[in-house]
Structure 1
Amino acid sequence: MTEQSSPEHIPPVGSVAGSASGKRRRVVQVTPNYPPLLGGLEQVVQILATRLAARNDVSVVTTDNGADGAPRQAVEEGGVQVRRHRALTVAHTPLAPGMFGSLLRIRRGTVVHLHCAAAVVPEQVWLTARLRGLRYILHFHMEVDASGPLGRLLPFYKKHLFGRVVRSAAGVIVLTESQRDFLAERYGADRAKIYVVPNGVADEYFLPPRAPSVEPAVGSGPDPLRLLFVGRLGTQKNVARLLDAMAKVTEPVRLRLVGDGDLGPALREQATRLGLDDRVEFAGRKHGEDLIKEYADAELFVLPSDREGMALVVLEAMAAGLPVLATAVPGNIETVEGAGLLVPPTPQDLAAAIDNLARDRSALAALAATGSARVIGSRWDHVVSAIEDVYEQVGF
């Protein structure tokens, strides 16, 4: 579906005009997880909540999954009211029955902004909407994949439960045109109600152009190529694949893994088992200036994921002038194609690409330039304006 045939379509970030009315709204962001839990979806929700709060009354209803002692109720940055409900996590899905009570208390006329990347929470919002006569916006970040022994129920869930949630939404926000097509074809969503709003990048990640790399002195070998991964050390990111690739790389390279997660101990054991302790460094979780410095110091960003929505870390790396190498999987393809290097999701292909770039580093500058051009208009203020335009067009 082209923009011309669907006037409700939101153009890519950078060409959105801004909020149509400027009126102040009540907005409730509903999300399965929220910082301090590390992850792209969690960061997106926090950024949107904080920035929307400059012109709206914003609250967040979420679970305490990964909250690390954060208060159950708090007023956080920007005046955002956050309510974390006690959750039990089953098959990577937080189950928080108490959320239903908070949802039932939402006043009519409130923008209920539902963020989807896990099961159960979307159905709670759908049921609340049915009982209370509420309307909601569904923000689709990523397709739910099977996890654990309950994964066999996923086809039934998608067909009979999640599909109903999608079709009942007053409007659906997706990150890419391919997601728009996917929701229309898989779940029967009305294309006229689907709005494409990509993720954004904070201003501080846009760094000055990098100086060209210096050729090594005659007779001396090149310094190791500095690789960087940023993200949660969990199943979806498949850092194990990257470690297997590192074991096959023959050129001098070093890898820094920035982030933490459930698989951290197992990945450290794998690195030791593969003899990578002198080539791989686990740097832990980084924020703010420390994270920006990681992007500035690296020479190649590598994302070995099984799937993505629209990875914030890829956009941040591109803004920082860092070339990107990623697996050719859903989400990465739409974000990286034409602006970075995509390879099949195997250790062998990742290793071959790393070796090629380590041998011929002249290609890095071109990759960095195309990546920087891709995100030049993708700042969060444009994204928030686009989100508010969706609220306006849906009738909030």
Structure 2
Amino acid sequence: MKICVFGTRGFPNIQGGVEKHCENLYTHMPNDIKFDVCRRKSYVTTNTTFPNINFVDISNTQKRGLEAAFHSLASAFYAIKTKPDAVHIHNIGPGMTAPLLKLFGIKTVLTYHSANYEHEKWNGPEKLILRFCEHIALKYSDRIIFVNKEQMGKYSAKIQAKSVYIPNGVNPPINTNDTSFLKQFGLEKGKYIISVGRITPEKGFDKLIEAFYKSDIKNEYKLAIVGGVEFENEYKKQLDDLIQDDKVVFTGYACGENLAELYKNARLYVLSSFNEGFPLVLLEAMSYNLDIIASDISAARLVKLDDSDYYPPSDTNELAKKINQKVLSDFHNKKYDLSEYDWKKIADKTASIYKEMLHN
């Protein structure tokens, strides 16, 4: 069986939740399934290979709003030319190509990661286009995988009949005793709060910084924001303007052992997002047994933290209060049941979707 994959910038070690999802999903797949993964050439930084994956690197524009559309069309034409057994599309924007693929007799699986039109970075017309893409993607895809079961429940019985909930997964934590990456940013073990994500408005980092400076721990602890900037330079400038001293640091994008260092040695993890599909970063923080505070959004509720771990999004006073409560209490690692989020089980479930769809 051969599956063509697009809707991701690519992998390995490319920033983004969809990118991390795809890296883990396809590298855990059964060896009897082969994949053509269409990557956006400008993001590729490594020649790493995997036994069952053929990377197809396609030149792309990096204009916001056009990048995904152009790459998705180019990838769809590649699939039409090579005639795979099926195409696996990631997210609703690239899902606009589903009717084109259907026209050429190619079956499609859509993974619905998030309602992108809810993100603040898009203007009114762009949000309307994304809603139209969602309508087309859901209507014409043969099977749909939702990583968020609450999102799946919003649609008609007809859509749900061809849909299945399969969550994101998490890998075992990397055991490292190195602290050299921490030292580059003046971070000390157990003396900083961490938050991870691409620097975009929906991540709520501005509210997190405001809450940190309202807290009682701002003089003894630091806040480390881990993520890179792509198109949101104005938002990054807004964040820079909020910083009052050296207590808030941006590490840029981190992965592998560098990211493991940051997770392992943090005192607390905070998810300040307004919108998420299924936050992989929460699972990662849980795998390192970190204490957690999360904004009370439906996606964050999927991991079933204690009620006291959630706060109303945008409420910086309540977030500051919870930061004080967590950090000033006795430190203890927490234990979480992550058995549901095993990538091998998730890959096997996804593979069964392919086989069932093609058999039918």
Q: CA deviation at 1:125?
A: 3.4
Superposed CA deviations along residues 101-125 of structure 1, whole A, max 9, x for unmatched, are: 21321425x12111115x2x21123
Give the Å deviation of 1:49.
2.2
SS for the counterpart of 2:116 is coil
Greater Cα offset, 92-101 or 250-259: 92-101
Distance 1:329 1:150 in 2: 22
Amino acid at match of 1:233: I
Matches within 5 A, 1:175-190: 175-182=147-154, 184-185=155-156, 189-190=158-159
Deviation at 1:321, TM superposition (A): 0.6
Q: Matched residues, percent identical?
A: 18
Conserved in 2, the CA contact under 8 Å of 1:75 and 1:81? no
State the one-letter code of the partner of 1:134.
I
**Equivalent residue of 2:202, what SS?**
coil
Match of 1:240 in 2: 206
Structure 1's 137 and 149: CA in aligned 2 closer, same or farther, altered over 3 A?
closer
* Structure 1 match to 2:74: 98
Give the direction of change, closer, same or farther, for the CA distance of 1:328–1:162 in structure 2 (3 Å limit): same
Greater alpha carbon shift after TM alignment, 256-265 vs 189-198: 256-265
User: Residues 272, 67 of structure 1: CA spacing in aligned structure 2 closer, same or farther, 3 A cutoff?
Assistant: same
Take 2:352 and 2:52, find their aligned partners in 1: how far apart are those partners? 22
Instruction: Give the structure 2 partner of residue 228 of structure 1.
Output: 194
Between stretches 255-264 and 145-154, larger displacement belongs to 145-154
Moved over 6 A (4+): none
Cα shift at 1:156? 6.1
- Of 28, 36, 49, the residue aligned with 1:76 is 49
Matched residue, 1:305: 273
Q: Secondary structure at the match of 1:178?
A: helix
> Do the aligned residues in 2 keep the contact of 1:63 with 1:99 (CA within 8 Å)?
no
Mapped contact 1:30–1:62 kept (Cα < 8 A): yes
Distance of aligned partners of 1:390 and 1:99 in 2 relative to their CA distance in 1, 3 Å threshold:
closer
Give, in whole Å, the separation in 2 of the partners of 1:157 and 1:224: 42
Q: Deviations over 1:189-210 (max 9, x none)?
A: 4322111111111134599xxx
Look up the match of 1:125.
Answer: 98
Query: In angstroms, what is the RMSD of aligned CA positions?
Result: 2.9
AA in 2 matched with 1:387: T
Q: Normalising to structure 1: TM-score of the pair? A: 0.76
Deviation for aligned residue 1:306: 1.6
* Matching residue within 321, 330, 333 for 2:298: 330
Name the SS for the 1:152 alignment partner.
Answer: helix
- Asked if the contact 1:51/1:78 (under 8 Å) is kept, the reply is no
Deviation at 1:128, TM superposition (A): 2.1
Equivalent in 80, 99, 107 of residue 135 of structure 1:
107
Selected match of 2:286 from 295, 318, 322: 318
Show the counterpart of 1:86: 59
Note if contact 2:101-2:108 (Cα within 8 Å) is conserved in structure 1: no
1:90 alignment partner, SS class: coil
Task: Give the equivalent residue in structure 2 for 1:50.
Answer: 27
Residues 119-268 of structure 1 mapped to structure 2, 5 A cutoff: 119=93, 121-130=94-103, 132-145=104-117, 150-152=123-125, 154-155=127-128, 158=131, 160-182=132-154, 184-185=155-156, 189-205=158-174, 225-251=191-217, 252-262=220-230, 263=232, 267=236
Give the superposition deviation at 1:315: 0.5
| Alpha carbons of structure 1 residues 295 and 90: separation in structure 2 relative to 1, 3 Å | closer
- Matched residues in 1 for 2:307 and 2:170: separation? 16
Q: What displacement does 1:94 show?
A: 2.5
Measure the CA separation in 2 of the matches of 1:205 and 1:376.
17
| Contact 2:267 2:327 survives alignment (8 Å) | no
| Structure with the greater alpha carbon radius of gyration | 1
AA of the residue aligned to 1:351: A
Tell me, yes or no, if structure 1 residue 115 matches structure 2 residue 83: no
Q: Which residue of 2 aligns with 1:19?
A: none
- Per the alignment, in what secondary structure is the counterpart of residue 88 of structure 2? strand
Alpha-carbon offset, residue 98 of structure 1: 2.8
For residues 308 and 342 of structure 2, what CA distance do their matches in structure 1 show? 19
Shift of 1:41: 0.7
Q: Which residue is equivalent to 1:212? A: none
Q: Deviations over 1:114-144 (max 9, x none)?
A: 1115x2x2112331222x1111111110012
Rate the CA distance shift 1:314–1:273 in 2: closer, same or farther, 3 A: closer
The answer for the alignment partner of 2:339 in structure 1 is 376
Cα distance in 2 between the residues matched to 1:243 and 1:300: 14
1:53/1:106 CA distance change after superposition, 3 Å? farther
Measured against aligned partners, the alpha-carbon deviations of 1:326-356 in whole angstroms (never above 9, x if no partner) come to: 1112312223444871111122222121122
Q: Distance in 2 between matches of 1:162 and 1:394?
A: 21
SS of residue matched to 2:117: coil
Structure 2 vs 1, CA of residues 341 and 232 (structure 1 numbering), >3 Å: closer, same or farther?
same
- 8 Å Cα contact 1:300/1:324 also seen in 2: yes
Matched residue SS, 1:284:
coil
Q: Give unmatched runs, 5+ long, in structure 2.
A: 177-188
Distance 1:258 1:154 in 2: 27
Unaligned stretches of 5+ in structure 1?
A: 1-24, 208-222
Query: How many equivalent pairs are there?
Result: 338
> 1 CA distance for matches of 2:239 and 2:129?
36
